[in-house]
Structure 1
């Protein structure tokens, strides 16, 4: 398994999934246009080696396919991701084992925690070059301006590290920064996120909040930072559980924080509570420009460390598919065992990429009593922090393939009476970037019970579903070659034929 960005890029190149571009390219709009076309076609990662005005190459579309996201975990297929989720579920909500086999599994999980403990690197590669004070210049980085209406260049895929001023417990997350000057940037985060809480506590104590942003890290660390964690479980430990080995950390030069020792670039700075600047507009994952904010927290960088020959990795947001949507598909698989642990009746769940990877969810349940679909929906909304912002939850029977939109729409249209089966919860905390809500940060949720109804949900007897006659189906199977159709493999239907993946 790769331990840093450069090792992962080498692996992609060996597998024919990396294309080097030596022609001069402009980070203002041009690179994003090229990368977006590759994203839409499932193309390879790109390494731009001649970025105008920059002193280093730029990697993009690194996690632009589900296959490459799986490779970052050291896996070959999405199905293997649930095994990671099974391991994490034991730690997310541990329960006393009821039999010996469960005790063994718990013991294995705890041993994995021990192996995942971070290591410290006294001479980290990320400190090979150290720039301080006026030497810090964000213009040296090949920062992108993605859309013509963007107010400025942005930094994405950076691991932002902050620390709770009271407990000293660190938080690692991925947030969009917008460059304001050679050594300042505004940050966009939700008020419920860890850094926002840390900044409020720092303000109460009359202190500045120390911040480090690690750029060009092992992609696995980005996925770990995007995963909702159990209380007080470090993202570094989580990343170690993903990879099976501890993350090498290094102390920053000027702030009391730790970052991955194999980072390509590290920015160190502070946020002074109350010091803000204008942020945006900027293209957002919803598919629109995020609004201009007059009071975005301002980050002042006073130190930049890097490798001798660093590579800057980035991505950009927008209407799916984008790299964040590919990461969400993988995390969906990992979340599934955690969700089953908390809501046992849920058989499977799916966050469609077209639903912005979190705005709409489809759950399948093993229905056994009336009202169970509503219970599952309510439990889903509270199971993990990011599900708070899921607008639509559709609950179907376990017989429905939730990843096939044809089956889901059949269930909705054949099993739902809107007056009975649609329930709306008004005035919930919401994503302020969602323009569909009447008030910023406050919106409604809708649940749809698309399960087969049982008494007393309905007084009408439910008719049997239409299914092929099994004897006739077996006869046709035996005679398929006799019909002259042996060369047709109906499992290999082009998924684009119907506009979506039917498998």
Structure 2
């Protein structure tokens, strides 16, 4: 297994697969780059690399859809797999298993390197020179509240006692050259760290990182348990430490191969209006709220830096591919720790993180003697409901046999259409609801409470009315299948 420590090497690897589209004409950071990226998601074209930004003055570039669905139909998850050190042809179940295994592996803490060897220190801007006005900050959607400079960058923050260093993704909007604002909401981890500083009456030191190893925003975008350092998880994922370097003005360390690092402090109060911003459910938001203000006190960057952008919207973009896969890994981890026989868990990209699918092996009855499909489904629902955090934020979960691949959309729809009773075999819990979940009513989203439903779609046991597939693989004997395949190209 190999991995990338640098965004540029990762882009080269995608280019070798034919999954990069270089856009060499001048493109505006004001909506145009985001619009091209959004269309690339929707038609599954290669990831756009913008080499000439119309408003640019320093040679910066932009990179869209860094972890979207690949344009290669034979390796749809190539960008995700390569991001975490797996082969480009890796499938969904193998990807989720890799994330689950890493959860149980000992963390590998980061390694501090000298600033002289850190690419992110090629250009150091302090004082009045440290201004966002030097960059072509992208505007993502027409109805957004402003230009959003952070859609795929990681915010690094440490609790006041130093016990927990959190690397996470949260949207950030530019106010002016020296100020930004963005969502800082408990129970999300960034919100918890900020709250600890605010309760002390002290501004929170932060560093905002664009670029670096592709695993950094990937892991920053998946839900790890509270108190777990993402840097140690990435080290375990890579099998070696992440190289980090000390910041210029705050007591934090950042990935040495980052493209851009912005440093400063976050206010203790909610001082600025933020939003609206188009979110992952795929609808244009009209909501804004008061959020803390980030001050910009230092900026370091590589020469000709590459700025990644993610224009959220209808599936599938990074908040479905990455965050959804991370949540599926959390579900699978919790179910296996509970001793339940499950094959995999998956959040189908088109459902915009509103559906979860759990598949179980054909022999599950031998491992749970005397348990019927309803009781098995109820146990799965109880584990998900009681696992806490993002794993509990599942509006709908389907439990199916593993004769189907939940990442294959045609396979999944066939199973849902033919194995779910129109009314019965479902279980419901009162659960945590995120305000972005479009399937709930306005009152439920405001209260952040609503129903979580688990559907029993399991087939009967063999001999109890279970039907075989009328498919090529099951409706014909092996000698006929072999003969057909042997002469297929004829």
Q: TM-score range by the shorter chain?
A: 0.7 to 0.9
After superposition, give the CA deviation of every residue in 1:437-464 in whole Å (9 maximum; x if it has no partner): 332122221121222479xxxxxx9534
Gaps of 5+ in 2: 71-76
Matches within 5 A, 1:56-455: 56-64=60-68, 65=70, 66-76=77-87, 77-79=89-91, 80-82=94-96, 84-85=98-99, 87-91=101-105, 110=106, 113=107, 116-123=108-115, 124-154=118-148, 155-230=150-225, 232-328=227-323, 331=326, 335=330, 338-343=333-338, 344-356=340-352, 358-365=353-360, 366-367=364-365, 368=368, 369-370=371-372, 371-383=375-387, 385-404=389-408, 408=412, 412=416, 416-417=420-421, 420-426=424-430, 428-435=431-438, 436-439=440-443, 440=446, 441-452=448-459
Q: 1:473 aligns with which of 452, 472, 476?
A: 476
Quote the Cα distance in structure 1 between the aligned partners of 2:103 and 2:46.
33
TM-score by length of 2: 0.84
Quote the Cα distance in structure 1 between the aligned partners of 2:478 and 2:244.
63
Structure 1 residues 129 and 399, CA gap change in structure 2 (3 angstroms): closer
What displacement does 1:49 show?
Answer: 1.7
After superposition, give the CA deviation of every residue in 1:72-100 in whole Å (9 maximum; x if it has no partner): 23322224535523532534xxxxxxxxx
- Asked if the contact 1:58–1:314 (Cα under 8 Å) also holds between the matched residues in 2, the reply is yes
Quote the Cα distance in structure 1 between the aligned partners of 2:34 and 2:171.
16
Quote the Cα distance in structure 2 between the aligned partners of 1:408 and 1:264.
39
What displacement does 1:359 show?
Answer: 1.6
Gaps of 5+ in 1: 92-109, 455-460, 490-503
Quote the Cα distance in structure 1 between the aligned partners of 2:233 and 2:239.
10
Quote the Cα distance in structure 2 between the aligned partners of 1:11 and 1:472.
41
- Asked if the contact 1:142–1:312 (Cα under 8 Å) also holds between the matched residues in 2, the reply is no
Quote the Cα distance in structure 2 between the aligned partners of 1:166 and 1:407.
49
Quote the Cα distance in structure 1 between the aligned partners of 2:306 and 2:482.
59
- Asked if the contact 1:276–1:294 (Cα under 8 Å) also holds between the matched residues in 2, the reply is no
Quote the Cα distance in structure 2 between the aligned partners of 1:467 and 1:22.
50
What displacement does 1:433 show?
Answer: 2.0
Structure 1 residues 202 and 475, CA gap change in structure 2 (3 angstroms): closer
After superposition, give the CA deviation of every residue in 1:180-213 in whole Å (9 maximum; x if it has no partner): 1112111124421122112222122121111110
Equivalent position SS for 2:289 = strand
Structure 1 residues 135 and 406, CA gap change in structure 2 (3 angstroms): closer
Deviates more, 1:66-75 or 1:147-156: 66-75
After superposition, give the CA deviation of every residue in 1:22-43 in whole Å (9 maximum; x if it has no partner): 2111111211222222222322
What displacement does 1:414 show?
Answer: 5.2
What displacement does 1:473 show?
Answer: 2.7
Q: Would you say how many aligned residue pairs link Structure 1 and Structure 2?
A: 457
Q: Which runs of 4+ in 1 moved over 6 A?
A: 468-472
Q: 1:34 aligns with which of 33, 36, 43?
A: 36
After superposition, give the CA deviation of every residue in 1:390-432 in whole Å (9 maximum; x if it has no partner): 1001112344443455655565555555654223324x32111
- Asked if the contact 2:96–2:325 (Cα under 8 Å) also holds between the matched residues in 1, the reply is no
After superposition, give the CA deviation of every residue in 1:101-152 in whole Å (9 maximum; x if it has no partner): xxxxxxxxx5xx4xx3311112122122221232222232232212221121
1:498 matched residue in structure 2: none
- Asked if the contact 1:340–1:347 (Cα under 8 Å) also holds between the matched residues in 2, the reply is no
Equivalent position SS for 1:88 = helix
After superposition, give the CA deviation of every residue in 1:286-309 in whole Å (9 maximum; x if it has no partner): 111233323122111111111233
TM-score by length of 1: 0.82
Structure 1 residues 133 and 475, CA gap change in structure 2 (3 angstroms): closer
